[in-house]
Structure 1
Amino acid sequence: MKGLMLKELYLSRKLRIIGAAVWFIVILLCVLVRLSALYGNIALLGEGSAENVDNVAWRVMVFGGALILYSVQFTNSASSDEKSGFRVFEHTLPVSEEKVVGAVYLTNLCAFVIVTAVNYITALSACLLFDRSFDPMFLVCIPGIGCAAYMFVHFKAAMNYYIRNPKKSQTVFTLFCMGLYFGGFFGFTRWFTSYTERFGVQAGMSEAELDAVLEAQGLTQDRIMINFFKEEIMGAVNWFGHNAWWLVPVIVGGMTALCYFISVKGLKRRGGRC
Protein backbone atom coordinates (compact mmCIF):
# COMPACT_ATOMS: atom_id res chain seq x y z
CA MET A 1 0.00 0.00 0.00
CA LYS A 2 2.80 2.44 0.88
CA GLY A 3 4.52 1.75 -2.43
CA LEU A 4 1.32 2.42 -4.36
CA MET A 5 0.78 5.66 -2.45
CA LEU A 6 4.34 6.75 -3.24
CA LYS A 7 3.65 5.97 -6.90
CA GLU A 8 0.62 8.25 -6.81
CA LEU A 9 2.66 11.04 -5.26
CA TYR A 10 5.51 10.58 -7.73
CA LEU A 11 3.29 10.63 -10.81
CA SER A 12 1.50 13.78 -9.68
CA ARG A 13 4.59 15.62 -8.45
CA LYS A 14 4.77 18.09 -11.35
CA LEU A 15 1.14 19.14 -11.04
CA ARG A 16 1.48 19.52 -7.28
CA ILE A 17 4.62 21.64 -7.59
CA ILE A 18 3.09 23.85 -10.28
CA GLY A 19 -0.09 24.23 -8.24
CA ALA A 20 1.85 25.15 -5.11
CA ALA A 21 3.81 27.74 -7.10
CA VAL A 22 0.62 29.27 -8.52
CA TRP A 23 -0.90 29.32 -5.04
CA PHE A 24 2.17 31.09 -3.64
CA ILE A 25 2.07 33.71 -6.41
CA VAL A 26 -1.65 34.38 -5.81
CA ILE A 27 -1.09 34.76 -2.06
CA LEU A 28 1.87 37.06 -2.70
CA LEU A 29 -0.19 39.23 -5.05
CA CYS A 30 -2.93 39.51 -2.42
CA VAL A 31 -0.35 40.65 0.13
CA LEU A 32 1.00 43.23 -2.32
CA VAL A 33 -2.53 44.50 -3.01
CA ARG A 34 -3.07 44.93 0.72
CA LEU A 35 0.15 46.88 1.10
CA SER A 36 -0.73 49.04 -1.90
CA ALA A 37 -4.20 49.69 -0.45
CA LEU A 38 -2.57 50.92 2.73
CA TYR A 39 0.47 52.78 1.48
CA GLY A 40 0.64 52.62 -2.32
CA ASN A 41 -1.20 53.57 -5.49
CA ILE A 42 -4.45 51.79 -4.63
CA ALA A 43 -4.80 54.03 -1.58
CA LEU A 44 -4.86 57.02 -3.95
CA LEU A 45 -7.98 55.74 -5.73
CA GLY A 46 -10.22 56.94 -2.95
CA GLU A 47 -11.62 55.32 0.14
CA GLY A 48 -14.48 53.48 -1.58
CA SER A 49 -12.46 52.08 -4.47
CA ALA A 50 -9.55 51.11 -2.25
CA GLU A 51 -11.91 49.33 0.12
CA ASN A 52 -13.52 47.37 -2.72
CA VAL A 53 -10.15 46.24 -4.06
CA ASP A 54 -9.10 45.35 -0.52
CA ASN A 55 -12.22 43.22 0.00
CA VAL A 56 -11.69 41.37 -3.27
CA ALA A 57 -8.05 40.64 -2.42
CA TRP A 58 -9.06 39.35 1.01
CA ARG A 59 -11.63 36.96 -0.43
CA VAL A 60 -9.22 35.77 -3.11
CA MET A 61 -6.60 35.03 -0.47
CA VAL A 62 -9.07 33.09 1.68
CA PHE A 63 -11.12 31.23 -0.92
CA GLY A 64 -9.15 31.55 -4.17
CA GLY A 65 -6.03 30.13 -2.59
CA ALA A 66 -8.02 27.27 -1.12
CA LEU A 67 -9.57 26.47 -4.49
CA ILE A 68 -6.18 26.40 -6.21
CA LEU A 69 -4.57 24.13 -3.62
CA TYR A 70 -7.47 21.71 -3.48
CA SER A 71 -7.71 21.54 -7.26
CA VAL A 72 -4.12 20.42 -7.82
CA GLN A 73 -3.25 18.39 -4.73
CA PHE A 74 -5.58 15.47 -5.40
CA THR A 75 -4.11 12.69 -7.51
CA ASN A 76 -5.78 10.73 -10.30
CA SER A 77 -3.30 8.48 -12.08
CA ALA A 78 -5.84 6.01 -13.49
CA SER A 79 -5.59 7.42 -17.00
CA SER A 80 -1.77 7.59 -16.86
CA ASP A 81 -1.57 4.00 -15.64
CA GLU A 82 -3.73 2.87 -18.55
CA LYS A 83 -1.69 4.74 -21.15
CA SER A 84 1.69 3.62 -19.79
CA GLY A 85 0.73 -0.03 -19.60
CA PHE A 86 1.09 -0.14 -15.81
CA ARG A 87 -2.22 -1.98 -15.63
CA VAL A 88 -0.61 -5.00 -17.33
CA PHE A 89 2.30 -4.99 -14.89
CA GLU A 90 -0.09 -4.42 -12.02
CA HIS A 91 -1.67 -7.82 -12.56
CA THR A 92 1.64 -9.46 -11.66
CA LEU A 93 1.77 -7.75 -8.26
CA PRO A 94 0.53 -9.46 -5.09
CA VAL A 95 -2.00 -6.71 -4.39
CA SER A 96 -5.74 -6.71 -4.75
CA GLU A 97 -7.81 -4.27 -6.77
CA GLU A 98 -9.13 -2.89 -3.50
CA LYS A 99 -5.60 -1.92 -2.43
CA VAL A 100 -4.78 -0.38 -5.80
CA VAL A 101 -7.84 1.86 -5.67
CA GLY A 102 -7.54 2.36 -1.93
CA ALA A 103 -4.04 3.78 -2.37
CA VAL A 104 -5.45 6.55 -4.58
CA TYR A 105 -8.23 7.39 -2.15
CA LEU A 106 -5.97 7.24 0.90
CA THR A 107 -3.38 9.47 -0.75
CA ASN A 108 -6.05 12.02 -1.56
CA LEU A 109 -7.46 11.82 1.96
CA CYS A 110 -4.03 12.60 3.42
CA ALA A 111 -3.67 15.47 0.95
CA PHE A 112 -7.11 16.75 1.96
CA VAL A 113 -6.14 16.90 5.64
CA ILE A 114 -2.81 18.63 4.97
CA VAL A 115 -4.22 21.13 2.47
CA THR A 116 -7.14 21.96 4.76
CA ALA A 117 -4.71 22.76 7.57
CA VAL A 118 -2.67 24.98 5.22
CA ASN A 119 -5.82 26.76 4.06
CA TYR A 120 -6.95 27.39 7.63
CA ILE A 121 -3.57 28.95 8.40
CA THR A 122 -3.80 31.02 5.21
CA ALA A 123 -7.32 32.21 6.08
CA LEU A 124 -6.22 33.19 9.58
CA SER A 125 -3.21 35.02 8.16
CA ALA A 126 -5.45 36.82 5.67
CA CYS A 127 -7.77 37.95 8.45
CA LEU A 128 -4.83 39.31 10.43
CA LEU A 129 -3.29 40.98 7.39
CA PHE A 130 -6.53 42.56 6.17
CA ASP A 131 -7.74 43.38 9.69
CA ARG A 132 -10.81 41.15 9.46
CA SER A 133 -12.36 38.84 12.01
CA PHE A 134 -12.06 35.10 11.43
CA ASP A 135 -15.58 33.99 10.58
CA PRO A 136 -16.41 30.58 12.10
CA MET A 137 -18.13 29.76 8.81
CA PHE A 138 -14.65 29.48 7.29
CA LEU A 139 -14.32 26.23 9.22
CA VAL A 140 -17.13 24.86 7.04
CA CYS A 141 -16.70 26.76 3.77
CA ILE A 142 -13.01 26.02 3.26
CA PRO A 143 -13.21 22.22 3.60
CA GLY A 144 -16.46 22.42 1.63
CA ILE A 145 -14.42 23.59 -1.36
CA GLY A 146 -12.07 20.67 -0.78
CA CYS A 147 -14.95 18.20 -0.56
CA ALA A 148 -16.25 19.34 -3.93
CA ALA A 149 -12.80 18.93 -5.52
CA TYR A 150 -12.38 15.58 -3.72
CA MET A 151 -15.61 14.21 -5.20
CA PHE A 152 -14.86 15.51 -8.71
CA VAL A 153 -11.43 13.86 -8.76
CA HIS A 154 -12.77 10.54 -7.54
CA PHE A 155 -15.68 10.60 -9.97
CA LYS A 156 -13.21 11.13 -12.81
CA ALA A 157 -11.00 8.35 -11.46
CA ALA A 158 -14.00 6.02 -11.26
CA MET A 159 -14.83 6.73 -14.90
CA ASN A 160 -11.22 6.05 -15.90
CA TYR A 161 -11.13 2.77 -14.01
CA TYR A 162 -14.52 1.59 -15.24
CA ILE A 163 -14.50 2.71 -18.87
CA ARG A 164 -10.75 2.08 -19.32
CA ASN A 165 -10.61 4.41 -22.29
CA PRO A 166 -9.15 7.85 -21.51
CA LYS A 167 -11.00 9.63 -24.31
CA LYS A 168 -14.37 8.10 -23.52
CA SER A 169 -14.01 8.61 -19.78
CA GLN A 170 -12.99 12.24 -20.35
CA THR A 171 -16.06 12.70 -22.55
CA VAL A 172 -18.34 11.33 -19.83
CA PHE A 173 -16.69 13.54 -17.23
CA THR A 174 -16.95 16.61 -19.47
CA LEU A 175 -20.65 15.97 -20.13
CA PHE A 176 -21.22 15.55 -16.40
CA CYS A 177 -19.48 18.86 -15.65
CA MET A 178 -21.41 20.62 -18.42
CA GLY A 179 -24.65 19.30 -16.97
CA LEU A 180 -23.72 20.65 -13.55
CA TYR A 181 -22.66 23.98 -15.02
CA PHE A 182 -25.79 24.60 -17.06
CA GLY A 183 -28.01 23.30 -14.28
CA GLY A 184 -26.32 25.62 -11.80
CA PHE A 185 -26.43 28.53 -14.25
CA PHE A 186 -30.15 28.22 -14.93
CA GLY A 187 -30.86 27.64 -11.25
CA PHE A 188 -28.87 30.71 -10.24
CA THR A 189 -30.53 32.81 -12.95
CA ARG A 190 -33.99 31.78 -11.80
CA TRP A 191 -33.05 32.50 -8.19
CA PHE A 192 -31.78 35.98 -9.03
CA THR A 193 -34.81 36.70 -11.23
CA SER A 194 -37.13 35.72 -8.40
CA TYR A 195 -35.22 38.04 -6.05
CA THR A 196 -35.37 41.05 -8.38
CA GLU A 197 -39.10 40.56 -8.95
CA ARG A 198 -39.62 41.55 -5.32
CA PHE A 199 -38.49 45.04 -6.29
CA GLY A 200 -40.77 45.31 -9.31
CA VAL A 201 -38.23 44.26 -11.91
CA GLN A 202 -39.87 42.51 -14.85
CA ALA A 203 -38.43 40.59 -17.78
CA GLY A 204 -38.08 42.61 -20.97
CA MET A 205 -37.49 45.95 -19.24
CA SER A 206 -35.19 48.40 -20.98
CA GLU A 207 -32.13 49.74 -19.18
CA ALA A 208 -33.87 53.07 -18.60
CA GLU A 209 -36.98 51.41 -17.15
CA LEU A 210 -34.87 49.14 -14.96
CA ASP A 211 -32.83 52.04 -13.61
CA ALA A 212 -36.00 54.04 -12.94
CA VAL A 213 -37.63 51.20 -10.98
CA LEU A 214 -34.53 50.62 -8.89
CA GLU A 215 -33.81 54.31 -8.36
CA ALA A 216 -37.30 54.80 -6.93
CA GLN A 217 -36.30 52.37 -4.18
CA GLY A 218 -32.84 53.82 -3.66
CA LEU A 219 -31.12 50.99 -5.50
CA THR A 220 -28.82 50.52 -8.46
CA GLN A 221 -28.03 47.45 -10.53
CA ASP A 222 -24.72 47.03 -8.71
CA ARG A 223 -26.35 47.46 -5.31
CA ILE A 224 -29.06 44.90 -5.99
CA MET A 225 -26.39 42.38 -7.00
CA ILE A 226 -24.50 43.06 -3.77
CA ASN A 227 -27.70 42.75 -1.73
CA PHE A 228 -28.56 39.50 -3.47
CA PHE A 229 -25.17 38.09 -2.55
CA LYS A 230 -25.41 39.23 1.07
CA GLU A 231 -29.05 38.40 1.72
CA GLU A 232 -29.73 35.35 -0.41
CA ILE A 233 -26.47 33.53 -1.05
CA MET A 234 -24.79 34.21 2.28
CA GLY A 235 -28.11 33.63 4.02
CA ALA A 236 -28.37 30.22 2.40
CA VAL A 237 -24.76 29.43 3.28
CA ASN A 238 -25.29 30.43 6.91
CA TRP A 239 -28.50 28.43 7.14
CA PHE A 240 -26.81 25.38 5.67
CA GLY A 241 -23.82 25.79 7.96
CA HIS A 242 -26.00 25.90 11.06
CA ASN A 243 -28.80 23.49 10.17
CA ALA A 244 -27.68 21.07 7.46
CA TRP A 245 -23.90 20.84 7.85
CA TRP A 246 -24.24 17.12 8.54
CA LEU A 247 -25.22 16.59 4.90
CA VAL A 248 -21.64 17.36 3.81
CA PRO A 249 -19.99 14.26 5.34
CA VAL A 250 -23.00 12.16 4.31
CA ILE A 251 -22.82 13.26 0.66
CA VAL A 252 -19.02 13.12 0.48
CA GLY A 253 -18.89 9.75 2.20
CA GLY A 254 -21.63 8.32 0.01
CA MET A 255 -20.11 9.60 -3.23
CA THR A 256 -16.65 8.41 -2.22
CA ALA A 257 -17.94 4.93 -1.38
CA LEU A 258 -19.85 4.78 -4.68
CA CYS A 259 -16.83 5.90 -6.71
CA TYR A 260 -14.62 3.42 -4.84
CA PHE A 261 -17.02 0.57 -5.62
CA ILE A 262 -17.19 1.56 -9.31
CA SER A 263 -13.39 1.84 -9.50
CA VAL A 264 -12.79 -1.58 -7.97
CA LYS A 265 -15.43 -3.17 -10.17
CA GLY A 266 -13.85 -1.55 -13.22
CA LEU A 267 -10.43 -2.96 -12.36
CA LYS A 268 -11.84 -6.43 -11.82
CA ARG A 269 -13.58 -6.48 -15.19
CA ARG A 270 -10.42 -7.69 -16.92
CA GLY A 271 -9.52 -10.21 -14.26
CA GLY A 272 -6.86 -12.74 -15.08
CA ARG A 273 -4.20 -11.90 -12.54
CA CYS A 274 -0.88 -13.66 -13.15
Structure 2
Amino acid sequence: MKGLIFRELYLGRKNMLVVAAVSFVFGIIGILIRLSMNIGNLALLSEETLTELDLNTYMIFSVMTGALLLMISTVISEVSGMDYKAKWMGFQYTTPITEEKYMLAKYLLMLALTAAAAVPAFINAAIIGALSGRPLDMNITSVLVMISCVTVLLNVFQTALTHLLHSLEKAMYVYIVLGIAAYMLFVVKLDSMNIGSESDSLASLSNEVFGFCREYMGIAVIATAVLVITGYFLTTAFMKRREK
Protein backbone atom coordinates (compact mmCIF):
# COMPACT_ATOMS: atom_id res chain seq x y z
CA MET A 1 0.00 0.00 0.00
CA LYS A 2 2.85 2.40 0.87
CA GLY A 3 4.43 1.70 -2.50
CA LEU A 4 1.19 2.48 -4.33
CA ILE A 5 0.78 5.78 -2.47
CA PHE A 6 4.41 6.72 -3.19
CA ARG A 7 3.85 5.87 -6.85
CA GLU A 8 0.83 8.20 -7.07
CA LEU A 9 2.75 11.04 -5.42
CA TYR A 10 5.81 10.49 -7.60
CA LEU A 11 3.86 10.51 -10.86
CA GLY A 12 1.89 13.60 -9.91
CA ARG A 13 4.70 15.51 -8.17
CA LYS A 14 5.28 18.12 -10.90
CA ASN A 15 1.61 18.99 -11.35
CA MET A 16 1.12 19.23 -7.59
CA LEU A 17 4.09 21.58 -7.26
CA VAL A 18 2.73 23.79 -10.06
CA VAL A 19 -0.70 24.02 -8.42
CA ALA A 20 0.85 24.74 -5.02
CA ALA A 21 3.12 27.46 -6.48
CA VAL A 22 0.27 29.16 -8.37
CA SER A 23 -1.93 29.06 -5.26
CA PHE A 24 0.86 30.51 -3.10
CA VAL A 25 1.56 33.37 -5.52
CA PHE A 26 -2.18 34.07 -5.87
CA GLY A 27 -2.53 34.23 -2.08
CA ILE A 28 0.48 36.56 -1.71
CA ILE A 29 -0.98 38.90 -4.35
CA GLY A 30 -4.22 39.09 -2.36
CA ILE A 31 -2.36 39.91 0.85
CA LEU A 32 -0.27 42.61 -0.88
CA ILE A 33 -3.38 44.21 -2.40
CA ARG A 34 -5.07 44.21 0.99
CA LEU A 35 -2.00 45.77 2.67
CA SER A 36 -1.83 48.44 -0.04
CA MET A 37 -5.48 49.27 0.66
CA ASN A 38 -4.62 49.71 4.33
CA ILE A 39 -1.30 51.55 4.27
CA GLY A 40 -0.24 51.87 0.61
CA ASN A 41 -1.17 53.73 -2.57
CA LEU A 42 -4.58 52.08 -2.86
CA ALA A 43 -5.58 53.77 0.39
CA LEU A 44 -5.63 57.06 -1.57
CA LEU A 45 -8.59 55.93 -3.69
CA SER A 46 -12.03 57.39 -3.17
CA GLU A 47 -14.16 55.83 -0.45
CA GLU A 48 -16.69 54.46 -2.95
CA THR A 49 -14.00 52.81 -5.10
CA LEU A 50 -12.21 51.51 -2.02
CA THR A 51 -15.41 49.94 -0.67
CA GLU A 52 -16.04 48.10 -3.94
CA LEU A 53 -12.39 47.00 -4.20
CA ASP A 54 -12.47 45.83 -0.59
CA LEU A 55 -15.42 43.50 -1.24
CA ASN A 56 -13.92 42.18 -4.48
CA THR A 57 -10.55 41.51 -2.85
CA TYR A 58 -12.12 39.80 0.14
CA MET A 59 -14.34 37.52 -1.92
CA ILE A 60 -11.82 36.63 -4.63
CA PHE A 61 -8.70 36.04 -2.56
CA SER A 62 -10.31 34.47 0.53
CA VAL A 63 -12.22 31.87 -1.50
CA MET A 64 -10.43 31.41 -4.83
CA THR A 65 -7.03 30.68 -3.26
CA GLY A 66 -8.68 27.85 -1.37
CA ALA A 67 -10.29 26.58 -4.56
CA LEU A 68 -6.92 26.58 -6.34
CA LEU A 69 -5.15 24.79 -3.50
CA LEU A 70 -7.80 22.11 -3.22
CA MET A 71 -7.37 21.27 -6.90
CA ILE A 72 -4.03 19.64 -5.96
CA SER A 73 -5.93 16.43 -5.29
CA THR A 74 -7.19 16.28 -8.90
CA VAL A 75 -3.68 15.22 -9.88
CA ILE A 76 -4.50 11.78 -8.49
CA SER A 77 -7.32 11.47 -11.02
CA GLU A 78 -4.97 12.44 -13.84
CA VAL A 79 -2.54 9.68 -12.89
CA SER A 80 -5.18 7.15 -13.99
CA GLY A 81 -5.01 8.58 -17.50
CA MET A 82 -1.21 8.36 -17.42
CA ASP A 83 -1.50 4.70 -16.43
CA TYR A 84 -3.62 3.88 -19.47
CA LYS A 85 -1.24 5.72 -21.81
CA ALA A 86 1.80 3.94 -20.35
CA LYS A 87 0.03 0.54 -20.57
CA TRP A 88 0.59 0.17 -16.82
CA MET A 89 -2.91 -1.26 -16.38
CA GLY A 90 -1.95 -4.31 -18.40
CA PHE A 91 1.32 -4.73 -16.50
CA GLN A 92 -0.53 -4.43 -13.19
CA TYR A 93 -2.23 -7.77 -13.77
CA THR A 94 1.16 -9.51 -13.73
CA THR A 95 1.80 -8.22 -10.18
CA PRO A 96 0.21 -9.08 -6.81
CA ILE A 97 -1.52 -5.67 -6.84
CA THR A 98 -5.29 -6.09 -6.76
CA GLU A 99 -7.84 -3.63 -8.12
CA GLU A 100 -9.04 -3.01 -4.55
CA LYS A 101 -5.57 -2.05 -3.29
CA TYR A 102 -4.84 0.12 -6.31
CA MET A 103 -8.09 2.04 -5.94
CA LEU A 104 -7.91 2.22 -2.13
CA ALA A 105 -4.49 3.88 -2.36
CA LYS A 106 -5.83 6.36 -4.90
CA TYR A 107 -8.90 7.28 -2.85
CA LEU A 108 -7.05 7.53 0.47
CA LEU A 109 -4.42 9.80 -1.08
CA MET A 110 -7.10 11.91 -2.74
CA LEU A 111 -8.82 12.50 0.62
CA ALA A 112 -5.50 13.14 2.39
CA LEU A 113 -4.40 15.72 -0.19
CA THR A 114 -7.77 17.48 0.00
CA ALA A 115 -7.54 17.66 3.80
CA ALA A 116 -3.91 18.85 3.65
CA ALA A 117 -4.75 21.56 1.10
CA ALA A 118 -7.73 22.73 3.17
CA VAL A 119 -5.44 23.82 6.03
CA PRO A 120 -3.50 26.54 4.12
CA ALA A 121 -6.77 27.50 2.39
CA PHE A 122 -8.35 28.31 5.76
CA ILE A 123 -5.17 30.07 6.94
CA ASN A 124 -5.14 32.26 3.83
CA ALA A 125 -8.84 33.10 4.27
CA ALA A 126 -8.18 34.02 7.91
CA ILE A 127 -5.29 36.33 6.93
CA ILE A 128 -7.29 38.08 4.21
CA GLY A 129 -10.23 38.38 6.59
CA ALA A 130 -8.06 39.86 9.36
CA LEU A 131 -6.58 42.44 6.98
CA SER A 132 -10.09 43.30 5.78
CA GLY A 133 -11.48 43.62 9.29
CA ARG A 134 -13.66 40.53 8.78
CA PRO A 135 -12.94 37.55 11.04
CA LEU A 136 -13.12 34.06 9.60
CA ASP A 137 -16.80 33.31 10.19
CA MET A 138 -19.25 30.59 9.23
CA ASN A 139 -19.82 32.21 5.82
CA ILE A 140 -16.31 31.67 4.47
CA THR A 141 -15.93 28.44 6.45
CA SER A 142 -19.05 26.94 4.88
CA VAL A 143 -17.94 28.01 1.39
CA LEU A 144 -14.50 26.40 1.81
CA VAL A 145 -16.09 23.22 3.19
CA MET A 146 -18.43 23.10 0.19
CA ILE A 147 -15.48 23.66 -2.18
CA SER A 148 -13.68 20.77 -0.46
CA CYS A 149 -16.72 18.53 -0.94
CA VAL A 150 -17.08 19.54 -4.59
CA THR A 151 -13.37 18.91 -5.18
CA VAL A 152 -13.63 15.41 -3.72
CA LEU A 153 -16.74 14.66 -5.80
CA LEU A 154 -15.04 15.93 -8.97
CA ASN A 155 -12.13 13.60 -8.24
CA VAL A 156 -14.45 10.65 -7.68
CA PHE A 157 -16.39 11.41 -10.86
CA GLN A 158 -13.26 11.91 -12.98
CA THR A 159 -11.56 8.79 -11.64
CA ALA A 160 -14.64 6.63 -12.19
CA LEU A 161 -15.23 8.08 -15.66
CA THR A 162 -11.60 7.58 -16.66
CA HIS A 163 -11.71 3.91 -15.70
CA LEU A 164 -15.12 3.43 -17.31
CA LEU A 165 -13.98 4.94 -20.63
CA HIS A 166 -10.35 3.75 -20.28
CA SER A 167 -9.18 7.22 -21.31
CA LEU A 168 -8.55 10.52 -19.52
CA GLU A 169 -9.14 12.45 -22.76
CA LYS A 170 -12.64 11.04 -23.19
CA ALA A 171 -13.40 11.80 -19.55
CA MET A 172 -12.22 15.39 -20.04
CA TYR A 173 -14.55 15.81 -23.03
CA VAL A 174 -17.46 14.98 -20.75
CA TYR A 175 -16.04 17.43 -18.19
CA ILE A 176 -15.90 20.22 -20.76
CA VAL A 177 -19.53 19.69 -21.80
CA LEU A 178 -20.70 19.66 -18.18
CA GLY A 179 -18.56 22.72 -17.40
CA ILE A 180 -20.07 24.72 -20.27
CA ALA A 181 -23.57 23.73 -19.14
CA ALA A 182 -22.81 24.77 -15.54
CA TYR A 183 -21.40 28.12 -16.70
CA MET A 184 -24.48 28.83 -18.81
CA LEU A 185 -26.75 28.08 -15.85
CA PHE A 186 -24.65 30.42 -13.70
CA VAL A 187 -24.90 33.23 -16.26
CA VAL A 188 -28.68 32.78 -16.53
CA LYS A 189 -28.99 32.83 -12.74
CA LEU A 190 -26.84 35.94 -12.45
CA ASP A 191 -28.82 37.71 -15.18
CA SER A 192 -32.13 36.84 -13.51
CA MET A 193 -31.04 38.62 -10.33
CA ASN A 194 -31.55 41.91 -12.20
CA ILE A 195 -29.46 44.02 -9.83
CA GLY A 196 -28.25 47.53 -10.59
CA SER A 197 -24.59 48.21 -9.86
CA GLU A 198 -21.73 45.75 -10.06
CA SER A 199 -20.92 46.03 -6.36
CA ASP A 200 -24.56 45.42 -5.40
CA SER A 201 -24.63 42.42 -7.73
CA LEU A 202 -21.52 40.92 -6.13
CA ALA A 203 -22.81 41.57 -2.62
CA SER A 204 -26.19 40.02 -3.40
CA LEU A 205 -24.60 37.01 -5.09
CA SER A 206 -22.22 36.57 -2.16
CA ASN A 207 -25.06 36.62 0.35
CA GLU A 208 -26.99 34.08 -1.70
CA VAL A 209 -23.97 31.78 -1.92
CA PHE A 210 -23.25 32.16 1.80
CA GLY A 211 -26.84 31.33 2.70
CA PHE A 212 -26.88 28.26 0.47
CA CYS A 213 -23.56 26.94 1.79
CA ARG A 214 -24.52 27.44 5.45
CA GLU A 215 -27.84 25.68 4.96
CA TYR A 216 -26.57 22.65 3.07
CA MET A 217 -23.03 22.23 4.45
CA GLY A 218 -23.95 19.32 6.74
CA ILE A 219 -25.90 17.54 4.02
CA ALA A 220 -23.02 18.05 1.57
CA VAL A 221 -20.49 16.46 3.95
CA ILE A 222 -22.68 13.39 4.51
CA ALA A 223 -23.51 13.07 0.80
CA THR A 224 -19.81 13.36 -0.09
CA ALA A 225 -18.89 10.55 2.31
CA VAL A 226 -21.59 8.29 0.84
CA LEU A 227 -20.59 9.09 -2.75
CA VAL A 228 -16.89 8.50 -2.04
CA ILE A 229 -17.65 5.00 -0.74
CA THR A 230 -19.98 4.34 -3.68
CA GLY A 231 -17.41 5.71 -6.12
CA TYR A 232 -14.71 3.45 -4.71
CA PHE A 233 -16.74 0.30 -5.32
CA LEU A 234 -17.94 1.47 -8.74
CA THR A 235 -14.45 2.38 -9.93
CA THR A 236 -13.08 -0.93 -8.68
CA ALA A 237 -15.86 -2.70 -10.59
CA PHE A 238 -15.01 -0.73 -13.75
CA MET A 239 -11.39 -1.88 -13.44
CA LYS A 240 -12.41 -5.51 -13.01
CA ARG A 241 -14.56 -5.36 -16.14
CA ARG A 242 -11.47 -4.82 -18.26
CA GLU A 243 -10.24 -7.82 -20.17
CA LYS A 244 -7.17 -9.16 -18.46
TM-score by length of structure 1 reads: 0.79
Answer yes or no: is 1:249 the counterpart of 2:221.
yes
Paired residue for 1:96? 98
**Residue by residue, what CA displacement relative to the aligned partner does 1:137-160 show, whole Å, maximum 9, x if unpaired?**
333221210111111122111111
For residues 36-70 of structure 1, give each alpha carbon's deviation from its aligned partner in whole angstroms, at most 9, with x where no partner exists: 21232211221221232233222223101101101
Matches within 5 A, 1:44-123: 44-74=44-74, 75-76=76-77, 77-123=79-125
Superposed CA deviations along residues 86-125 of structure 1, whole A, max 9, x for unmatched, are 1122112212101111111100111111111222222222
Q: Is 1:229 paired with 2:231?
A: no
Does 2:186 align with 1:156? no
Residue 20 (str. 1) matches residue 28 (str. 2): no
* Closer, same or farther: CA 142–234 of 1 in aligned 2, 3 Å: closer
**In 2, Cα distance between the equivalents of 1:135 and 1:251?**
23
1:260, CA displacement in angstroms?
Answer: 1.8
Over aligned residue pairs, what C-alpha RMSD do you find?
2.3
Deviations along 1:152-206, one digit per CA (max 9) or x if unpaired, are 12211111111113333332333333343334444x25xx63x54xxxxxxxxxx
3-state SS of paired residue (1:137)? helix
Provide the C-alpha distance between the structure 2 equivalents of 1:109 and 1:270, rounded to a whole number of angstroms: 26
Gap change, CA 1:225 and 1:154, over 3 Å in 2: same
Larger Rg: 1
Bigger fraction of residues in helix = 2
Mapped partners of 1:231, 1:54: distance in 2: 16
How far the C-alpha of 1:226 sits from its partner, in A, is 4.7
Residue 168 and residue 226 in structure 1: after superposition, are their counterparts in 2 closer, same or farther (change >3 A)? closer
Change (3 A) 1:262 1:131: same
CA contact (8 A) 1:19 1:73 kept: no
Corresponding letter in the other structure for 1:62: S
Asked whether the 8 Å contact 2:71–2:151 carries over to 1, the reply is yes
8 Å CA contact 1:159, 1:173 repeated in 2: no
Asked if 1:144 is matched to 2:146, the reply is yes
**Matched residue type, 2:45:** L
Distance 2:125 2:151 in 1: 18
2:204 & 2:100 partners in 1: Cα distance?
Answer: 47
Unaligned runs of 5+ in 2: none
The 8 Å contact of residues 124 and 134 in structure 1, kept in 2 or not, is answered as yes
- Which digits, 9 at most, give the CA deviation of each residue in 1:223-258, with x for residues without a partner? 6525632654444344x1xxx433112321232233
Instruction: Sort the Cα spacing of 1:232 and 1:142 in 2 relative to 1 into closer, same or farther, 3 A.
Output: closer
Q: Distance in 2 between matches of 1:183 and 1:67?
A: 20
Query: Residues 28 and 9 from structure 1, CA distance in 2 versus in 1: closer, same or farther, beyond 3 angstroms?
Result: same
Identity %: 24
Q: Which amino acid aligns with 1:43?
A: A
Once residues 120 and 174 of structure 2 are traced to their aligned partners in structure 1, the CA distance between those partners, rounded to angstroms, is 33
Q: Is the contact between residue 34 and residue 128 of structure 2 (CA under 8 Å) also seen in structure 1?
A: no
Is the contact between residue 34 and residue 132 of structure 2 (CA under 8 Å) also seen in structure 1? yes
Residue ranges of structure 1 left out of the alignment (5+ in a row): 197-218
Structure 1 position 266 matched with structure 2 position 241? no
- Count of equivalent residues: 242
